[in-house]
Amino acid sequence: MTGIPVVCISHGEDADGLTCASLLRRLNGARPLLATYDDLEDVLKSVVAPLDEVYICDLNVREGLVDEIIRIRGFASVTLIDHHPPSEGVLERLAEAGVTVVHSLLDCASVLVYDHFREELGRQAGRLAAYAAWADQFEDGPIATLLLREYDRQLVQNEGLILAHAAINRPTEEFRLQVIDALSALKFPHRVPEILEAATNQLEYKAWLIEALGKIATIKGNIAYVEAEKGWPIGTVAGLLLDAMGTYVGVCYVKKGGGLVNISLRSRRGFSFHLGEITNRIARNQGGFGGGHKRASGASIPQGGLEGFLRDFEEELREKFD
Ligand SMILES: [Mn+2]
């Protein structure tokens, strides 16, 4: 690793992560290292001295990665900025090791980054955080609510959603870095080359999915569920099930190697139950693991437990609504 002594390890798969990397790039020239949960460990291992500062953004650090971050803390300052429900004890262990931890469940990571460096970044950069608030569906977070009042609401909303749809549709390193380049220079997202085509493609894909799901999904009580066809993005499909089927919860699963099934869940807005907590409990009952946000969660369980998982979930929701 040579050159810039600052890196930002950020979630590469969505607009919030890309915006975090853009804000840090703008703040101090941080070099973006985009990660997914599959390669986060390898990305962390690739971070070696000499470096001054390391930022880790929009990534839920699991227990097994704590030691790797503490290793980095041995030669660089480390700041973790995130909004995912943390595994127990992880943030405490990191803070004890001297990592600066900026964490809230209520706002998206980009809004937390902006808020933390608000003075240095200045208010034009706040528009980036505002895009991400829409893109990550955290527009009603306490900081985001105030921030969104500062800018043209519809422009920021539209730009944020262009970013969100395009980031999912064009998951290439080249496009992601191009987005970070543009945003860190305060370009409006719709001016990024090829972004409109990518966003429209994603809208078309979602429209196609909604039509397809209406024909193949199953409704069980307050839940609609479907097995993903090859290549389907299970989180997106779980969310679209709410639209296509009119249920309170959408569940999309995909069978993986090793006898496991990955499950993604989304719930309609406006309910008090916490999807992540229910998912965590029911996944463990089936010998797997899971968790997540209030309205978006995921689990990985043995395939034999799928039927029980759906049944337990449906029962739990039925108790809440009957
Ligand atoms: Mn996020």
The pLDDT-based confidence of 1 (bands split at 50, 70, 90) is very low
Rg (CA), the chain: 20
pLDDT over 90 (residue 241): yes
For the stretch 272-290, pLDDT in tens is 899 999 999 999 999 999 9
pLDDT over 60 (residue 259): yes
Q: Give the pLDDT confidence score for residue 87 in this predicted structure.
A: 87
The pLDDT-based confidence of 83 (bands split at 50, 70, 90) is very high
Q: DSSP secondary-structure letter at 106?
A: S
Instruction: Give the distance (Å) from ligand 1 centre to CA of residue 13.
Output: 10
Instruction: Give the distance (Å) from ligand 1 centre to CA of residue 109.
Output: 5
The pLDDT-based confidence of 293 (bands split at 50, 70, 90) is confident
Instruction: Give the distance (Å) from ligand 1 centre to CA of residue 136.
Output: 6
- Domain annotation for the chain: domains and CATH numbers: 6-198 (3.90.1640.30), 217-321 (3.10.310.30)
Q: Whole-angstrom distance between the N-terminal and C-terminal Cα of the chain?
A: 58
* Percent of the residues in the chain that have a pLDDT greater than 90, as a whole number: 91
Instruction: Give the distance (Å) from ligand 1 centre to CA of residue 322.
Output: 33
pLDDT over 90 (residue 319): no
Instruction: Give the distance (Å) from ligand 1 centre to CA of residue 313.
Output: 25
Instruction: Give the distance (Å) from ligand 1 centre to CA of residue 160.
Output: 13
Q: DSSP secondary-structure letter at 157?
A: H
CA geometry: angle at 103 spanning 61 and 36, to 5°? Answer: 35
For the stretch 116-174, pLDDT in tens is 999 999 999 999 999 999 999 999 999 999 999 999 999 999 999 999 999 999 999 99
* Percent of the residues in the chain that have a pLDDT greater than 70, as a whole number: 98
Q: How far apart are CA 104 and CA 82, in angstroms?
A: 7
The pLDDT-based confidence of 3 (bands split at 50, 70, 90) is low
Instruction: Give the distance (Å) from ligand 1 centre to CA of residue 215.
Output: 31
pLDDT over 60 (residue 2): no
Instruction: Give the distance (Å) from ligand 1 centre to CA of residue 35.
Output: 13
Instruction: Give the distance (Å) from ligand 1 centre to CA of residue 316.
Output: 27
For the stretch 19-55, pLDDT in tens is 999 999 999 999 999 999 889 999 999 999 999 999 9
In 84-194, which residue ranges form alpha helices assigned H by DSSP? 90-96, 109-116, 118-121, 123-135, 142-148, 153-169, 173-184
Instruction: Give the distance (Å) from ligand 1 centre to CA of residue 15.
Output: 8
Q: What is the mean pLDDT of residues 12-16?
A: 94
pLDDT over 80 (residue 4): no
